[in-house]
Chain A
Amino acid sequence: ETGVTQTPRHLVMGMTNKKSLKCEQHLGHNAMYWYKQSAKKPLELMFVYSLEERVENNSVPSRFSPECPNSSHLFLHLHTLQPEDSALYLCASRVTGENTEAFFGQGTRLTVV
């Protein structure tokens, strides 16, 4: 248990579905992250929320839409995904601007069929 909770752990969705991933932390961190982890590739940073403001990665397709209603919760809304979006999606949190480690959730294993 790292203090960061992600749900669901596994998700299978069709290309026309809409679903959301949820992340929650109560570590008092002020930055939250969405990462995509594909096999044999570095962790790909998708979105960062720092002090509840979004720092957007422009290379992320619009079919991924983040939401950060408060400093403890982060969502990733998914719609009209493609099979190549199948991956492990990891949420992390840390204290921004400091030399501190990131704490990760267990991830959501997403399969797009």
Chain B
Amino acid sequence: GQNIDQPTEMTATEGAIVQINCTYQTSGFNGLFWYQQHAGEAPTFLSYNVLDGLEEKGRFSSFLSRSKGYSYLLLKELQMKDSASYLCAVLDSNYQLIWGAGTKLIIKP
């Protein structure tokens, strides 16, 4: 079966750095997405990785290791507005998106 694992909830302090991990087992791989979802709102696209390595986009970075079936989202200089759920999704061999349950990130002052 196909499976994506993420921690259910994480807590971090404003101004700090947090790393949200995602491990996956899917039938084929055509890339991995990270989305941000604030409560009651639509998920919005953050990043896409298809090759190994780190992709940096402002305060957010995403890393991929295809051999390990592993990715992480790194958030720096945390702000209160970063409190949200972060969803990991893999595009499988049929170009279908397989979703993790999401990680709820709580930022404390």
Residues of A in contact with B (beta carbons under 8 Å apart): 2, 4, 40-43, 45, 48, 90, 96-99, 101-107, 109
Contacts and interface: CB of A to CB of B under 8 A. Distances in A.
Contact of A42 (B41, B91, B96, B102): B102
B42 A43 contact: no
A43 B87 contact: yes
The DSSP consensus for interface residues of chain B is loop
B109 interface: no
A102 B42 contact: no
Contact of B30 (A2, A99, A106, A107): A99
Interface string B41-53: 1111100101000
The DSSP consensus for interface residues of chain A is loop
Name the interface size band of chain B: 20 to 34
Interface of B: 4, 8, 30-31, 33, 40-45, 48, 50, 87, 89, 91, 95-97, 99-102
A30 B89 CA distance: 20
* For the complex of A and B, 7 pairs with smallest distance between CB atoms: A104-B42, A43-B99, A101-B45, A42-B101, A42-B99, A99-B31, A106-B42
B100 A42 contact: yes
A20 B45 CA distance: 27
Given A40-B101, A104-B42, A105-B42, 18 more contacts: A2-B44, A4-B42, A40-B8, A41-B101, A42-B4, A42-B99, A42-B100, A42-B102, A43-B87, A43-B99, A45-B97, A45-B99, A98-B95, A99-B30, A99-B31, A99-B91, A107-B41, A107-B42
